[in-house]
């Protein structure tokens, strides 16, 4: 039985990873525009309690502006709030389509605890030379609260 769970977990994680590609690509947009060398790793090996589907990383050095590190970290939120707003203003979505668009924009626009940790401590990421910062107590709870807020804003834009 344990073996069958392992076989199911792999394809389910891979399917979930495919679903969140747009979130990762939103990190890439400002990184690529700024000329950073970036990498996306599917289903990365990870130590700790997290089990990430992707890892975005980009090379940082002491000259990397802190505002850019923050922008790359939080990019999914403004990108997908912008997509939701553009869909609303275009008038192209309604009914079930609007509900699906709202769910996807909220999912893709929500920051992970890792995204938030980098945004809150960009100098640590810059000093480490990568988009990885040890989360502080409360980071996961703050990310969860922001997920709810992001979802409510997206729903308000597309469904009300």
Structure confidence by residue, pLDDT tens digits, 54-90: 999 999 999 999 999 999 999 999 999 999 999 999 9
Instruction: Give me the numbers of helices (H) and strands (E) for the chain, helices first please.
Output: 8, 2
Tokens at 50, concatenated: 């997290």
Residue ranges covered by each domain of the chain: 2-159
pLDDT tier, 113 (very low <50, low <70, confident <90, very high otherwise): very high
Per-residue pLDDT, averaged over 99-127, amounts to: 97
C-alpha 69/C-alpha 54 separation (Å) is 18
C-alpha 41/C-alpha 27 separation (Å) is 13
Please state the pTM of the whole predicted model: 0.91
pLDDT of residue 101: 97
What's the residue count for the chain? Answer: 160
Structure confidence by residue, pLDDT tens digits, 1-55: 444 434 445 888 899 999 999 999 999 999 999 999 999 999 888 777 778 899 9
Tokens at 109, concatenated: 């626009």
pLDDT of residue 50: 77
Task: Give the 3-state secondary structure of residue 40.
Answer: strand
C-alpha 84/C-alpha 158 separation (Å) is 6
**How many CB atoms within 10 Å of residue 137?**
6
Per-residue pLDDT, averaged over 87-95, amounts to: 94
């Amino acid at each position: 039985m344990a073996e069958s769970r392992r076989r199911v977990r792999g394809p389910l994680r891979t399917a979930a990873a495919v679903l969140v590609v747009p979130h990762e690509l939103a990190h890439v947009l400002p990184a690529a525009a700024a000329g950073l060398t970036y990498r996306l790793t599917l289903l990365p090996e990870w130590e700790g309690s997290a089990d990430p589907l992707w890892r975005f990383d980009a090379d940082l050095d002491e000259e990397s502006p802190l505002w850019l590190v923050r922008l790359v970290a939080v990019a999914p939120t403004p990108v997908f709030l912008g997509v939701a707003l553009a869909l609303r203003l275009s008038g192209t979505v309604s009914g079930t389509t609007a509900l699906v668009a709202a769910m996807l924009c909220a999912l893709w626009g929500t920051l992970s605890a890792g995204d938030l940790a980098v945004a809150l401590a960009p100098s640590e990421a810059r000093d480490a030379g990568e988009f990885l910062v040890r989360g502080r107590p409360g980071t996961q709870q703050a990310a969860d609260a922001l997920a709810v807020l992001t979802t409510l804003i997206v729903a308000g834009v597309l469904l009300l």
